[in-house]
Amino acid sequence: MLMLKGIAKGFPGVRALNDVDFEARSGEIHALVGENGAGKSTLTRVIAGVHQPDAGTITFDGQPTVWKGPGDAKRHGVHVIYQEFVLFPHLSVAENIFIGHERRNRLGLIDHRRTRADAKALLERFGIDIDPRSRVRDLSVADQQMVEIAKALIHDVKLLILDEPTAVISGREVDVLFERLRRLRDAGVAIVYISHRLEEIFALCDRVTVLKDGGFVASRPIGDVTRDQLIALMVGRNLAELFPTRRGPKTPGAVVVEARDIDVPGRVRGASIALRAGEITGLAGMVGAGRSELALALFGALKKTGGEVFVDGRPVDIGSPRRAIELGIGLVTEDRKGQGLAMLLDVAANVSASTLPEFTRSGLFDHRREATVADEAIASFRIACRGPGTPVAVMSGGNQQKVIVARWARTSTRLLILDEPTRGVDVGAKTEIYRIMQELADRGVAILMISSELPEIVGMSERVVVMREGVVTGELGPGEITEEAVVELATRRMAG
């Protein structure tokens, strides 16, 4: 369906693509992978007609092609679904699907009955169970994504590109998305699937193409490459080098924060966990196990109705995040953009956000000191940006995450909780975040890492606590931590 040969694209001071070959076949799901900066987004925009290539050729549906713009590519059947949805929340599902292509009667007026009927038929055709009369603002994120896909399907879609489609969904919602993508593939649509989640690549895709530093690395049938080999192609190093070298045997540090019999209504039941200085503890479990809720209760951001928290052996009342910060406890949230970063502000403002009184003297804010602290964080955490004044909104996901970690590293003298710390970042950025976690542990900080990625849990944790349905089902120590052992505890039903 699509064949690119020798594609090159440059911008002032940057060579984004250099001699890239790529093809997508009808009735195939083709993964496009690579670290941030590998060229995936630029290549997508070339395919979609947003950018004209500086060199190379595009063949689409057997014909040499030069797109005049995104509208031209769309008319020929190329559709892209980006991470950020383009929907009108106050309009109905049917109105969103047909916006710009409204169904009209003989008088030229919008025929709402026909619009709803056509939307219903389209949704049913692909097994999407959504009422076309529903307001988009009332839908789950997963269903909003289905509306985006349906918008593309009103056209004669030949090539569908999805950019990180599971960044905002999880669990059963991912399974439903995959089922619908397979239906499209079986109907003859060519699908390009872009994701950092390698387990999804192996579960869904038929082939994979790897880009690195704007260049083509390899294209393989998915059955001909292992996870370790794919990582090596993406980053130029083996999986064993992804995680920091484990420190030698040592006596565990003192317990700095301990939770006993924590209850959060409907979410956590009688959960206990002890966190030791200088130790990385993994908190594992399936989606909905109560991991994030336990962390939020420890941080004072979620009200608990039972249990106690001890800091350095003394009972404390952590009734708010402010109190947690005063006690040297920090939390890197799962939702980087929604809860972690002030997206309209720069690096300096985000790094200083948890310690604003430190920069205030006699009612005046010391921006110079703030910039100095941000410069130190940029160097220490290897944050790729132009300086303290760089808006975080223009930075890659991995560097945004390092900004958040840098903020909390300044205040987290006892415990730093990281909830899905590498979600949505590339493999290279993961390695950097793992290094930072290990360095903080080496300073004596207790680390609690919540992760849904089993290789991450096994590769980084010195101890693993596992939850299921709000209950702690077990704990694994050195020599016991394997993916199989974690899964067994995560699926174990507790008596009573």
Q: What is the pLDDT of residues 359-381, one digit of tens each?
A: 788 788 878 888 888 888 888 88
Q: Contact, 212 vs 35, CB < 8 A? A: yes
Instruction: For residues 222 and 30, give the distance between their C-alpha atoms in angstroms, rounded to a whole number.
Output: 9
Q: Where in the chain is the domain with CATH 3.40.50.300?
A: 2-238, 255-490
Q: Contact, 223 vs 206, CB < 8 A? A: no
Residue 268 pLDDT level (bands cut at 50, 70, 90):
very high
Q: What is the mean pLDDT of residues 163-176?
A: 74
Q: How many helices (H) and strands (E) does the chain have?
A: 16, 22
* Structural tokens at position 77: 């059947």
Instruction: For residues 265 and 19, give the distance between their C-alpha atoms in angstroms, rounded to a whole number.
Output: 57
Q: What is the mean pLDDT of residues 26-34?
A: 91
Percent share of the chain, pLDDT over 70 = 92
- Return the pLDDT at 248: 47
Paired strand residues for 11: 14
Residue 116 has pLDDT above 80, yes or no: yes
Place of tokens 């924060």: 257
* Structural tokens at position 109: 């007026």
Residue 399 pLDDT level (bands cut at 50, 70, 90):
confident
User: Among the residues of 353-490, which ranges form H helices?
Assistant: 367-380, 397-409, 427-442, 454-460, 483-490
Paired strand residues for 59: 3, 64
Place of tokens 């200088």: 278
CATH of 255-490, one of 3.40.50.300, 3.30.1330.40, 3.30.1280.10, 3.30.110.30: 3.40.50.300
Instruction: For residues 182 and 185, give the distance between their C-alpha atoms in angstroms, rounded to a whole number.
Output: 5
- Return the pLDDT at 39: 83
- Return the pLDDT at 13: 63
Q: How many residues does the chain have?
A: 496
Q: What is the mean pLDDT of residues 466-487?
A: 88
Q: In sequence order, what are the residues at sequence separation of 6 or more whose Cβ sits closer than 8 angstroms to the Cβ of residue 126?
A: 149, 150, 153, 180, 183, 184
Q: Which is higher by pLDDT, 248 or 88?
A: 88
Sign (positive or negative) of CA dihedral 107, 108, 111, 114: positive
At 436, which amino acid appears?
I
Q: What is the 3-state secondary structure (H, E, C) of 185-222?
A: HHCCCEEEEECCCHHHHHHHCCEEEEEECCEEEEEEEH
pLDDT digits 0-9 by tens, 383-396: 888 888 888 888 87
Residue 249 has pLDDT above 50, yes or no: no
Instruction: For residues 169 and 140, give the distance between their C-alpha atoms in angstroms, rounded to a whole number.
Output: 9
Q: Which is higher by pLDDT, 425 or 26?
A: 26
Of 351, 382, 393, which is closest to residue 369 (Cα–Cα)? Answer: 351
Instruction: For residues 446 and 275, give the distance between their C-alpha atoms in angstroms, rounded to a whole number.
Output: 6
Residue 297 has pLDDT above 50, yes or no: yes
Q: What is the mean pLDDT of residues 258-281?
A: 93
Residue 118 has pLDDT above 70, yes or no: yes
Pairing of the two strands 314-316 and 306-311? antiparallel
- Return the pLDDT at 317: 92
Average pLDDT, the chain: 84
At 366, which amino acid appears?
D
Q: What is the mean pLDDT of residues 163-190?
A: 80
Instruction: For residues 462 and 437, give the distance between their C-alpha atoms in angstroms, rounded to a whole number.
Output: 12
Q: What is the mean pLDDT of residues 328-332?
A: 90
- Return the pLDDT at 250: 64
Residue 409 is classified by DSSP as: H
Instruction: For residues 383 and 404, give the distance between their C-alpha atoms in angstroms, rounded to a whole number.
Output: 11
Instruction: For residues 357 and 349, give the distance between their C-alpha atoms in angstroms, rounded to a whole number.
Output: 13
- Biggest CA-to-CA distance, the chain: 82
Q: Which is higher by pLDDT, 244 or 446?
A: 446
Which CATH superfamily includes the segment(s) 2-238? Answer: P-loop containing nucleotide triphosphate hydrolases (3.40.50.300)
Residue 15 pLDDT level (bands cut at 50, 70, 90):
confident
- Return the pLDDT at 240: 57
Q: Model's pTM, two decimal places?
A: 0.60
Residue 496 pLDDT level (bands cut at 50, 70, 90):
very low
Percent share of the chain, pLDDT over 90 = 23
Instruction: For residues 387 and 375, give the distance between their C-alpha atoms in angstroms, rounded to a whole number.
Output: 7
* Structural tokens at position 197: 């989640």
